[in-house]
Chains A and B, each alone.
Chain A
Amino acid sequence: MDEKKAAQLKKLETQSAELMTQIRNENDIEKKKKLIVQREKVERKAVAIRNNRKISRETKKDLIAYSFIAPNFIGFAVFTLIPIVFAFALAFLEWDGNNAIEFVGVENFAKLADDTFFLAALKNTLVYVLGTVPLTMIASLALAIVLNQKVKFRGLFRTVAFFPYVASLVAITAVWKMIFHPSKGPINAFLYYTMGMSNEELPQWFSGSLVMLTLILFSVWKYMGYYMVIYLAGLQGISAELYEAGGLDGANTWQKFKYITWPQLRSTTFFVVVMLTINCFKVYDIAVMLAGSGDGKLSTSAMVLVYYIYEKAFRTWELGYSSAIAMVLFVLVLVITLIQFGYEKKLSE
């Protein structure tokens, strides 16, 4: 053992002894625990030096674990993490992908307030989220409760409810476009022939103020099957004894739902709402497929944030500006999710 190591060892030993006395004098349990952990680390280092090991056993363990994480993490870092970090930076820059990058400070954000299309996209996205999230939640919960009972052909109905979620978006939007076709669709035919609406009164499902309603209805129909499955799993986790006890106490169906099912499903509902909110803010494909014109362009009545981000980034190559919009979307989703988490925490306490 050379001198350097001896000196190091000596230092570690004194450190350890000091920590030991500190531990003895410490009264606060939490702090004591921390000190003990600290001392253990010092001890381990000392052991490593005494045994002439270059890498401590702990580090070795860590490295092995990291090596297992690495393949996935490197992919994530290169294709997701770096672009995300870069997007944060881009929000304060001006870049078209080729010419020199220019720093513009918060100019990109300042421009947003005066951008008609951004404001329209923001409004439409919020309307879409506010409409889709509660409706999907209610629809999927109702479906789950009904299909959790022993009805005939339960399996078939569950499959039917789940089908829109797995069906190809292109195919089902084509069907919806036929059903809601402004002059030839069965819905408007019904309104025309049986409700006596005139040609001018017939609703234009894919334009104007109604297009967001169509998008919301479509999304509820498409997503409810998936969240129904999650609710079904939640329902099956509720102990039958609770209902039995409730029954003995004379609770009716509504009371059973209110005092047993709903509170027991709280964590499931939390998951459903958080996932739905995040998914709904990301809406793009449904809007383009359902409301887009022949060349996939959206007008102000149906423009959503993700579409506008794409438009600005890859059609007009304002990468900085589009990143700024992406940041707005990110902060929006983050804040809402944090509020949801905070609320959930408050409830569970």
Chain B
Amino acid sequence: MKRKALSMLLAATMVAGMFAGCGAKEETAAPAADAAVEEEAPAAEEEAPAAEEEEAPAEEEAEAVTLKWAIWDEGTTPYWSALKEGYEAANPGVTIEMVDLGSTDYMTVLATELSGSGTDFDVVTIKDVPGYATLVSKGTLEPLDSYIDAAGIDLSVYGGVDSQITVDGSLYELPFRNDFWVVFYNKDLFDAKGIEYPTNDMTFEEYDALAREVASADFGSQVYGTHYHTWRSAVQLFGVLDGQHSILDGNYDCFKPYYEMVLGQEDDGICRKYADLSAEGLHYSAAFSSGDVAMMNMGSWYIPTMISSLASGEYDSSLCGNWGIVKYPHADGVEAGSTLGTITGLAVTSATEKKDAAFDFVNWVSGVEGAKVMANTGNFPAIATAEITEIIAGMEGFPTDEASKEALTVSNLYLEVPYGDKVSEINSVLDTYHASIMNREMTIDEGIAAMNDEVAKVLGQ
């Protein structure tokens, strides 16, 4: 009798819970989002009235629309609010609400937010391609093709990058930021040894020789010839720069010479050891700014950080103030200027009811207007034009030599992770064995064989 009552109660709560669960989803997401928005509300309000008074009467058909936009690290990334203000000024009546999800696990948090039946995000920023692939396969993003056609957007301005993120013939995001990898170098360290600076046309052999020449093991004034951050992109992706390989291939033998080069440099004390970096969690910016790293391959996103940190005095300019950039080294017989790229894009959620307004914002940010805002904050917009390169090269604090300016032109851009059906799983396999090889748990051959085997399993599924 009692048992029956208990089980009835249980069943009742379960049913009730199910309804509560379904209904609550939208409600629970809202307060957190509201809280985040409130913080910046005063700033937005200050400007809004002024803009409305002036322009609202002229465009009466423009209804008041609020778009909710997912971003990360608002405090340390100046371009979010610059884009928001720029768009709001150009489109009275539209308010952009930014919701900061943090950068550490942004794509994971975003995917969780967009799971289930609903979300109140209208526009979301896409941080990486594996996350993009996940969101597309979950059906949470709106295909943009019809909007692109209607707006008459010419995709050729993206320099072919769009084809690397096309999913079954459709685009689900428009890139607004496009970073590419270059080699940062510290001129003082080369001067001290009386060695020529690296150039915009180096083969990997020349690069390796230069690193070994500039390195010095003297106690107290140790200099590392190179520095490789713990990301797999920093080492293994040298292998895809010849344009004949891709991480989606399923065969990773092309990584071998570069693992040999980097592990050889580690063994000879030319660069810091991966195991050490991973144990101490040393950030690449701390490594380069401490003035004992001669060359470091890193994305162009580090340029504005260098400029602003040196200007603010956060970096000691006697240690790393005299810096420059050159193009990525290249394999024999491959054109100089081939490099890796990372794009950041905007997408419209399939759940939003304000798709047209949302796309208009996406279009503005990824278009020429947005590109100017990006360039003015020192970032590389996805639209690469000579004018934009001029803006960045002309920034106060950008290296003044010709080579650094020339390094900003890219001949071939390969995405670190182009879109593929199983890219998320492939990415995770490659990450795992990269760590195994760099930690010397596996030899290079074993690690690459394991990559080939495991990715074959993923692709065979």
Contact = CB atoms under 8 A, between A and B. Distances in A.
B366 interface: no
A184 B273 CA distance: 12
A311 B104 CA distance: 15
Contact of A299 (B108, B140, B432): B432
A294 B281 contact: yes
Contact of A62 (B2, B115, B138): B2
A311 B425 CA distance: 10
A182 B14 contact: no
Contact of B428 (A73, A81, A182, A311): A311
Contact of A97 (B2, B115, B231, B275): B115
Contact of A73 (B13, B279, B433, B441): B13
A62 B18 CA distance: 25
Interface stretch (A154-162, A204-212, A240-248): A204-212
A116 B450 CA distance: 10
B112 A314 contact: yes
B457 interface: yes
Given A62-B2, A82-B18, A294-B230, A97 B116 contact: yes
A204 to B, nearest CB: 6
A116 B2 CA distance: 48
Contact of B435 (A97, A117, A297, A311): A297
A206 B279 contact: yes
Nearest to A83: B21
A300 B279 contact: no
B9 interface: yes
A96 B137 contact: yes
Interface string A306-334: 00000100111100000000000000000
Nearest to B450: A116
A19 to B, nearest CB: 15
B278 A316 contact: no
A301 B20 contact: no
A348 interface: no
Interface string B215-251: 0000000000000001100000000000000000000
A114 interface: yes
B454 A116 contact: yes
Contacts of A78: 13, 17, 20-21
B17 A77 contact: yes
A51 interface: no
B10 interface: yes
A293 interface: yes
A317 to B, nearest CB: 6
Interface in B198-230: 230
A204 B279 CA distance: 10
Interface string B72-104: 000000000000000000000000000000001
Interface residues of B, number: 50
B142 interface: no
B230 A315 contact: no
A295 B9 CA distance: 45
A117 B432 CA distance: 10
Contact of B5 (A62, A82, A295, A315): A62
A297 B18 CA distance: 34
B162 to A, nearest CB: 25
Interface SS of chain B: helix, strand, loop or mixed?
helix
B280 interface: yes
Contacts of B457: 114, 116
Report the interface size class on chain A: 35 or more
A208 B446 CA distance: 14
Interface string A270-286: 00000000000000000
B376 interface: no
Contact of B273 (A66, A74, A98, A183): A183
Interface in B1-26: 1-2, 5, 9-10, 13-14, 16-18, 20-21
A83 to B, nearest CB: 9
A206 B275 contact: yes
Nearest to B5: A62
A96 B100 CA distance: 24
A57 interface: no
A177 interface: yes
B139 interface: yes
A296 B441 CA distance: 18
Contacts of B105: 296
B355 to A, nearest CB: 18
Contacts of A204: 275, 439-440
Interface string B21-46: 10000000000000000000000000
Contacts of A114: 457
Contact of B441 (A82, A299, A315): A299
B440 A297 contact: no
A98 B424 CA distance: 17
Interface in A217-238: none
B111 interface: yes
A205 B439 CA distance: 11
B431 interface: yes
A99 interface: yes
A98 B116 CA distance: 5
Closest 8 CB pairs of A and B: A207-B439, A97-B115, A299-B435, A98-B138, A78-B17, A77-B13, A208-B441, A182-B275
10 contacts: A74-B16, A114-B457, A116-B450, A116-B454, A117-B454, A182-B276, A297-B431, A315-B108, A317-B134, A317-B137
Interface of B: 1-2, 5, 9-10, 13-14, 16-18, 20-21, 104-105, 108, 111-112, 114-116, 134, 137-140, 230-231, 273, 275-281, 424-425, 428, 431-433, 435-436, 439-441, 450, 453-454, 457
